[in-house]
Amino acid sequence: MTVILKGADTASAIRNNLTEAIHAYHLTPCLAVVRVGCKDSDLAYEKGLASTCAKTGIELKVFELPETIEETAFEDAFQKINQDPAIHGILLFRPLPSHLDEKRITQLIDPSKDVDCMNPVNLAKLFMGDTDGFAPCTAEAVIRILDHEGVSLNGAKAVVIGRSLVIGKPLSILLLSRNATVTCCHSRTRDLAGECRGADILISACGAANLVDETIAKGLDASCTAIDVGVNFVDGKMCGDFDFDAVSHYAGKVTPVPGGVGAVTNTVLAAHVVLAACRMAGYPDVKL
Amino acid sequence: MTVILKGADTASAIRNNLTEAIHAYHLTPCLAVVRVGCKDSDLAYEKGLASTCAKTGIELKVFELPETIEETAFEDAFQKINQDPAIHGILLFRPLPSHLDEKRITQLIDPSKDVDCMNPVNLAKLFMGDTDGFAPCTAEAVIRILDHEGVSLNGAKAVVIGRSLVIGKPLSILLLSRNATVTCCHSRTRDLAGECRGADILISACGAANLVDETIAKGLDASCTAIDVGVNFVDGKMCGDFDFDAVSHYAGKVTPVPGGVGAVTNTVLAAHVVLAACRMAGYPDVKL
C-alpha cells in the first residue's frame, strides 16, 4: 500500500513551530518582498506566501518597483530595505528585467536577511556545511518532508535527478551533509534507470513530465521514498516529473504534484524569516 | 594490460603551457607563500613548489611570520601582500595557530589572487559553475589528469569516495559540471562495493590505506580509470587509499601513490598563478 506524502502535513507542522517560537521569543518577524513589475507568476507566488505569513504571524511588506526602474534607483530602494532593522528577511523575485545587473544585486543583500539563498555567501555556507546561512527553500523543503515523514537519511542511497543551482546541486549537498550516499543524475546520464535502481530515496527536479516512467519505476523497491519536485503543465494540467501511477505502484512513499513539495516551499521561506528574526533578537541557536 | 598514469606526464604538459603563456603575454608571475612558523610539512610542500615555480618561470616570495604574531599584525602583513600589484597569487599555509581567526582571514584574501580557493567567494563560484574563480588545486589536479589521459567525462559514471571540503565535494561539483553522473560516497555509505561497481571513473580521497580493496576492485571493469588521491603512511612507506595490486589488476588505468595526483597539485597551483597574472595583465580569456 503506497503512502501519499502530502506537503500540507509537513507545512502545518513547521508552521506550528514557527508560531510557538514567535510567541516564546516575543518576535515580530517581517518579510519584505521586492518585486519589479507585476508578472502573473510572481503575483501567484506572492498570494500563497501572504497566506502562509498570515497563518504563521509574519508581517509581509510588498515593495513593488516600476519595471523601468534604473539601476541606481533600484539599488537605493533595495539598500533601504536591506538596512531596515524592522525587516528580517528579503525575497527578491527573479529574473529581474535585463537592464538591471542581477549578479551584482544578488551580492548586495545582507546574508543574514537572505532567506532564499540568493547571495553567493549563503551558497558557500551551504557548501561548507556552515548552518548559519540559509539553504534554497525548495531544496530544503525536500529535506523537511523526509524528516517529517521519518525517512532516515543516514547512510541512505539517495538519487537526485537534476543539477540546477537552486535545487539539484544544493539538495545533493544537503543530503550529503546528512550522511546519505548521493548520486546526482541529469540529462547526460547514460543509464538513468540503472542509477535509480534500489534507491532508498529518489528525487526528481528536472521539469520534464513523465521523465520517471515505468522503466525507471519498476527498479524501485517498496522501501523507496520518491519525491517529485518537477512542475510541468500537460494539456493545461499541472504535473510533476513522475508518471505518478507507475511510481506509486512500486515505491512505498511518494509525493504528489500538486500538493507535495510545492506546498512546503513557502513555509520553509517563512521558517527562514522567523529564524532570521530569532538571530537578530539575540537567539542564534534556535532551530526551527 | 593496466596503464599506470604518472602525474609527472600531466604536470610536464601543464608546465609547458605555462612557460609558453608567460612568454607570449610577457608576464612576470609572482606567487607569495605566507607561512606562520616553520612546520616540517609546510617546508616540504614549499620546497616542491619552489621547484615547480623555478621550472615554470614563476617568482616565489616566501613571507615567514613568527608563530606568536598577533591578529592585527598578521592582518597588516597579509593585507600588504594582498594589495601588492606585483603579487598575482597567494598561498597561505593552514591550519594557522589557534590564536589567529582563520575563518576571518580566509575572507580577507583578494579572490582574484586566491589561487588555492581559500575564500568562500571562490567556493561559491565553483558551486555556481562560474569559471573565473579558482578550484581547490588537488580536486582540479584529478580533472587535469583525466583530461591529459583522454578519459571522457561526458556522461561517464564517476564515483568519488570522500566528501571533504578540499577534495571530495569540489571534485564532485567539477565532475558534474563536465557532465559526469556523480556518486559521492563516504564513511557512512552502506554498500561501497555496490556503488563502485561498473564505474567509468573511480576516485578515492579518504586518507585510509587499503580502503579500496579486492572486494571493491573486482567490481571494476577494464574500462575503468581509477585515481588515488589518498596519502597515507604504512610502516613508514607512503601509500594511497588503493590496494594497488588489486585495483591495477581489474581497472584499465590507475594512478600510483606517490607519483600520481600529488605530482600534479602544485603544478595546478602554478597554473592558477599564471592565470591570475594573465587576468591582471588584461587577458581574462586565456585558458591554461
Q: Give A66-72 contacts, CB < 8 A, sequence gap 24+.
A: A66/A36, A66/A37, A67/A36, A67/A37, A67/A97, A69/A36, A69/A100, A70/A99, A71/A99, A71/A100, A71/A101
Pick from A153, A172, A148, A150: which is nearest to A161 by CA? Answer: A172
Question: For position B218, what pLDDT does the model report?
Answer: 97
Mean pLDDT over A226-243 rounds to 97
Q: Do A181 and B184 touch (CB under 8 A)?
A: yes
- The number of CA neighbours under 13 Å toward the Cβ of A110 is 17
| Amino acid A1: pLDDT | 80
pLDDT tens digits, one per residue of B56-102:
999 999 999 999 999 999 999 999 999 999 999 999 999 999 999 99
**Minimal-distance CA residue of chain B relative to A186:** B181
Q: What type of residue sits at position A144?
A: R
Q: What is the pLDDT of residue A220?
A: 98
* Among B155, B163, B188, beta carbon nearest to A189: B155
Task: Based on the fold, state whether residues B72 and B186 are members of the same structural domain.
Answer: no
Q: Is the pLDDT of residue B1 over 90?
A: no
Closest partner residue to A123 (CB to CB) among B128, B157, B189 is B128
| pLDDT score, position B236 | 95
Among chain B residues, CA nearest to A126: B124
Mean pLDDT of A184-188: 98
- Give A125's contacts in chain B (Cβ within 8 Å): 120
Regarding whether A257 and A198 lie in a shared domain, the answer is: yes
Distance (Å, rounded) from C-alpha B207 to C-alpha B230?
5
Q: Residue B238 falls within a domain, yes or no?
A: yes
Report the Cα–Cα distance between both ends of chain B, in Å, rounded.
Answer: 32
CB B7 within 8 A of CB B262: yes
Chain A residue whose CA is closest to B119 = A124
CB–CB contacts below 8 A, A to B: 86
CB B172 within 8 A of CB A168: no
A225 shares a domain with A169: yes
The bridge status of strand A30-36 relative to strand A89-92 is parallel
CA distance B7 to B260: 4
Residues B141 and B221 in one domain: yes
Residues B90 and B147 occupy one common structural domain? no
Give the whole-number percent of chain A exceeding pLDDT 70: 100
| CA A134/CA A231 separation, integer angstroms | 23
What does the pLDDT average to over B148-168?
97
Q: Measured between beta carbons, which residues in chain A are less than 8 angstroms from residue B173?
A: 169
Which residues of chain B does A173 touch, with a Cβ-Cβ cutoff of 8 Å? 169
Q: Are residues A197 and A239 in the same domain?
A: yes
Whether residue B272 is contained in a domain is answered as: no
Cβ–Cβ gap A172/B188 under 8 Å: no
167-206 in A: which are within 8 Å (CB) of B?
Answer: 169, 172-173, 176, 179, 181-186, 188-191, 195
Per-residue pLDDT tens for B94-142? Answer: 999 999 999 999 999 999 999 999 999 999 999 999 999 999 999 999 9
pLDDT in tens, B182-202: 999 999 999 999 999 999 999
| Out of A125, A154, A184, closest to residue B182 by CB | A184
pLDDT tens readout for residues B226-271? 999 999 999 999 999 999 999 999 999 999 999 999 999 999 999 9
Q: Does B88 touch chain A (CB under 8 A)?
A: no
Residues of A in Cβ contact (< 8 Å) with B157: 190-191, 195
Query: Do A128 and B155 count as a contact with CB atoms less than 8 A apart?
Result: no
- CA-to-CA dists, residue A164 to A52, A74, A171, A278, B35, angstroms: 26, 28, 9, 30, 39
Q: Is residue A250 part of a domain?
A: yes
Strands ordered across the beta sheet of B30-36 = B59-65, B30-36, B89-92
My answer on whether A146 and A220 are in the same domain is: yes
Mean pLDDT, to the nearest integer, of A111-115? Answer: 98
Whether residue A8 lies inside any domain: the answer is no
Chain-chain contact of B176 with A169 (C-beta, under 8 angstroms): yes
- Binary contact (B179, A188; C-beta < 8 A): yes
On chain A, the residues whose CB falls within 8 A of the CB of B132 are none
pLDDT at A60 over 90: yes
Residue A161's SS3 state is strand
- Residue A72 at interface with chain B, using a CB cutoff of 8 Å: no
Specify if A122 maps to a domain. Answer: no
φ and ψ of A93, to 5 deg: -70, 130
Could you give the number of structural domains in chain A? 2
- A contacts of B223 (beta carbons < 8 Å): none
Domain CATH number, residue B67: 3.40.50.10860
Residues B211-236, mean pLDDT to the nearest whole number = 97
Q: Is B220 left (phi over 0), alpha (psi -120 to 50) or beta?
A: beta
Going by C-alpha positions, the residue among A183, A177, A185, A212 that lies closest to residue A200 is A183
Q: Which residue of chain A comes nearest to B159, CA vs CA?
A: A183
What's the pLDDT score for residue B249? 97
Q: What CA–CA distance (Å, rounded) separates B165 from B183?
A: 16
Contacts of A127 in chain B (CB under 8 A): 123-124, 126-127, 165, 169
- Residue showing cell 578519459: B151
Q: CB B124 to CB A120 under 8 A?
A: yes
Mutation site for B-interface testing, chosen from A176, A202, A221 by largest number of B Cβ within 10 Å:
A176
Q: Report the gap between the CA of A80 and the closest CA in chain B (Å).
A: 25
Instruction: With beta carbons under 8 A apart, name residues in chain B contacting A202.
Output: none
Specify whether the CB–CB gap between A215 and A191 falls below 8 A: no
| A250 — pLDDT class (breaks 50, 70, 90) | very high
Domain that holds residue B32: 23-111
The verdict on B173 and B225 lying in the same domain is: yes
Q: Are residues A28 and A98 in the same domain?
A: yes
CATH number at residue A185: 3.40.50.720
Q: Do B184 and A182 touch (CB under 8 A)?
A: yes
Provide, as residue numbers in chain B, all residues whose Cβ is less than 8 Å from the Cβ of A188: 154-155, 179, 181
In a domain, A57, yes or no: yes
Do A151 and A240 have their domain in common?
A: yes
pLDDT given at position B62: 98
**How far is it, in rounded angstroms, from Cα B220 to Cα B192?**
12
Question: Do A60 and A160 belong together in one domain?
Answer: no
Residue B278 is assigned to a structural domain of this protein: no
What integer is the mean pLDDT of B130-158? 97
Non-local (6+) Cβ contacts of A1 within 8 A are none
DSSP A281: T
CA A194 to chain centre: 28
pTM of the complete model: 0.96
**Tens digits of residue pLDDT in B9-38:** 999 999 999 999 999 999 999 999 999 999
Testing the interface with A: which of B184, B191, B196 to mutate, by most A Cβ within 10 A?
B184
pLDDT, one tens digit per residue, over B272-285 is 999 999 999 999 99
pLDDT at A242: 98
Q: Do A169 and B165 touch (CB under 8 A)?
A: no
pLDDT for residue A55: 95
Q: What pLDDT, on the 0 to 100 scale, is given for residue B200?
A: 98
Please judge whether B169 and A176 are an interchain contact, meaning their C-beta atoms are less than 8 angstroms apart: yes
Q: Please indicate, yes or no, whether residues A167 and A248 belong to a single structural domain of this protein.
A: yes
Is B116 contained in some domain? no
